[in-house]
Chain A
Amino acid sequence: MSRFASFAKSLPLSGRIGLSLVLFWLAVALVGPAVAPHGVGAFVDQDVFSPVSSAFPLGSDYLGRDVLSRLLWGARYTVFLGAGAALLACLIGTTLALTAAVRGGWVDEVLSRAMDTLISIPSKIFALVMVAAFGSSLALLLTITAITYVPGNYRIARALAVNVVSLDFVTVARARGEGGLHVALREVLPNMIHPLLADFGLRFVFIVLLLSGLSFLGLGVQPPYADLGSLVRENMSGLVDGAPAIVMPALAIATLTVGANLLIDALKPVEKQG
């Protein structure tokens, strides 16, 4: 804990704000439903789109449900789907990148050409085409958003891995007779883990934005589940009334992504030193 405290102290102010926002949303995703005042589908307000009040701290939605409770329930889909998809994207991307860098030759050529092709399709367009073809169950959304950001991670990871592979200790390991798997996992991967973590954070931000965008369009998380993007969408009719039901979930997404972005940026100089 003291290590964590000294880490937090080493960050600039913007990084500390980012860190606390990220931790806040992580906590909400973990314990949100337990502390929510109402059930996720409970109709508790006589009115719809009522403003902020002591009974409903964030107002009520288009069916008279408590926005705070909906938000506390919905955050877990946004946070965990985003983190899961970012993890999957980095796992696939980095595995392919290590294969390409360690094997070299035609494996590298084919993989890099394929990834260059995929990266030339704008991410939202790519995701829309896949959603149209396959649908959007939770598992599919996780896979689709992950696949969309594999090429980006591959590009970063391959550039890092190619640099490490050309270093002497890798040549030594190969001369020792170590296999490709050992070289990739024991020699190369540990030397690129810090920039990869930063890239994981970036993928997370991109994926949360993409996922909430899809949900906002009605093409992402489908009822009965609702992530933060779905909450914005279902309350769009309250826009003319200026209902908090629509602004609050949108603000929630923004604080999560902005927080993560500030945190990643604050970590950069630390990397350069270490």
Chain B
Amino acid sequence: MVGRVSGGAAPRSAISGVLPLIAKRIGSALVTLLLVSAVVFTISGLLPGDAAQETLGQSATPEQVAALRHEMGLDRPALTRYVDWLGGMAQGDPGRSLVANMPVREVISARLPNSLMLAGFTALVSVPLALAIGIASAINRGGRLDRTLNVLTLSAVAVPEFLVATLGVLVFSVKLLWLPSIALVSEDASLWDTLRSCALPVLSLSVVVIAQMARMTRAAVADQLDRPYVEMARLKGVPFRRVVLFHVMPNAVGPIVNAVALSLSYLLGGAIIVETIFNFPGLASLMVNAVTSRDMPLLQACAMIFCAIYLTLVLVADVVAILANPRLRAQ
């Protein structure tokens, strides 16, 4: 909007004004990721006892433990170990999985695409529904529809994923026999079979995400409806439908995309429960297995991937907010 006022040269200057801001935001995200890696490594790599002692058990002699400690590199200073670990992680080689006895990278690369596919399907289902619910309640603010949707989404946010999942299985797999209760995803499965086995996991994930996203969308649109320009347009006699579509929506796109990106980060937590229930071969169920078997290299790698995805989503949300806000652009 700044560009339109000040003529042809303005778009370039607007973008060059934003770039340092965005670069700064990306830099700060990278610093946060570095600090997060330090936290994850400290908790999982330094604090809990001695991995060598644990591997060998109580009956091992001190010499055996010392030898294994040396072999595993546990006798080196903590900082050296952290730098090594971080270097490996950055180069895409986070070490060997203790349980699977293969490189962590191979274990993860077999699982990651499945999780991304699940997240993609969930986003495809939940974004349009959430936007429709959010915009509908914002437009009917205070009305019966808004109040009903408010109580519904408020309740859905607090429903545990495993309730939705078990009810879904009961209705669609046990009673109606429409869908499989276990997600069998493999490369030879046809697209139809893959879709069918993803249906219940996607349903279980969507409920909370849709509710969260709809609430944030409603807040974003309602905030725009309170602005003076909306009152001005209404006083001019512009029909309400037109005000919403052509005045409010262009301004609400930024906050809405922001809300969508932030809500999608709720997928990460939900996936942990949902993938486990349906035996879905994804990254989150892999991480749960890593916790159960105390496979620390695998656990650390999974945790870092989740944190990186989370930080990326928040970063996208922030960058969109910067791009959509002329005042931030002008800074």
Contacts and interface: CB of A to CB of B under 8 A. Distances in A.
Nearest to B162: A216
Contacts of B296: 132
Given A120-B310, A129-B40, A213-B272, A242 B175 contact: yes
Interface string B100-132: 000000000000000000000000000000000
A257 B170 contact: no
Given A117-B36, A129-B299, A265 B154 contact: yes
Nearest 4 interchain pairs by C-beta: A257-B158, A124-B269, A250-B163, A261-B158
11 contacts: A120-B311, A122-B306, A129-B43, A130-B43, A133-B47, A212-B160, A216-B162, A254-B158, A257-B159, A258-B154, A262-B151
A98 to B, nearest CB: 23
Contact of A219 (B161, B162, B170, B292): B292
Contacts of B311: 120
Interface string A97-114: 000000000000000010
Contacts of B203: none
B184 interface: no
Contacts of A236: 277
Contacts of A133: 43-44, 47-48
B33, B307, B314 pick with most chain A CB within 10 angstroms? B307
Given A117-B39, A250-B160, A239 B307 contact: no
B307 to A, nearest CB: 5
A205 B273 contact: no
Interface in A237-264: 239-242, 246-247, 250-251, 253-254, 257-258, 260-262
B158 A258 contact: yes
A122 B265 contact: yes
A128 B160 contact: no
Given A133-B47, A260-B158, A251 B163 contact: yes
Nearest to B272: A124
A121 interface: yes
A137 interface: no
A217 interface: yes
A116 interface: yes
A229 to B, nearest CB: 8
Contacts of B268: 122, 124-125
Interface string A209-225: 10011001111000000
A254 B163 contact: yes
Interface of A: 14, 113, 116-118, 120-125, 128-134, 205, 209, 212-213, 216-219, 232, 236, 239-242, 246-247, 250-251, 253-254, 257-258, 260-262, 265
Given A116-B32, A129-B299, A218-B292, A121 B265 contact: no
A219 to B, nearest CB: 6
B166 interface: yes
Contacts of B273: 213, 216-217
A128 B170 contact: no
Contacts of A212: 160, 162
B276 interface: yes
B34 to A, nearest CB: 9
Interface of B: 32-33, 35-36, 39-40, 43-44, 47-48, 150-151, 154-155, 157-163, 166-167, 169-170, 173-175, 181, 265, 268-269, 272-273, 276-277, 287-288, 290-292, 294, 296, 299, 303, 306-307, 310-311, 314
A229 B43 CA distance: 25
Nearest to B288: A217
Contact of A117 (B35, B272, B314): B35
B306 A125 contact: yes
A205 B158 contact: yes
Contacts of B291: 128-129, 131-132, 217, 219
A14 to B, nearest CB: 5
B32 A213 contact: no
Contact of A247 (B39, B166, B276): B166
B185 to A, nearest CB: 20
Contacts of A260: 158
Contacts of A209: 158, 160
Given A128-B291, A129-B40, A257-B160, 16 more contacts: A117-B32, A120-B307, A125-B306, A128-B287, A128-B303, A130-B43, A132-B299, A134-B48, A212-B160, A213-B160, A239-B181, A242-B175, A247-B170, A250-B163, A254-B160, A257-B159
A120 B312 CA distance: 10
A239 B269 contact: no
A262 B157 CA distance: 11
Contacts of B306: 122, 125
Nearest to B42: A133
A128 B272 contact: yes
Contacts of A240: 173-174, 181
B32 A258 contact: no
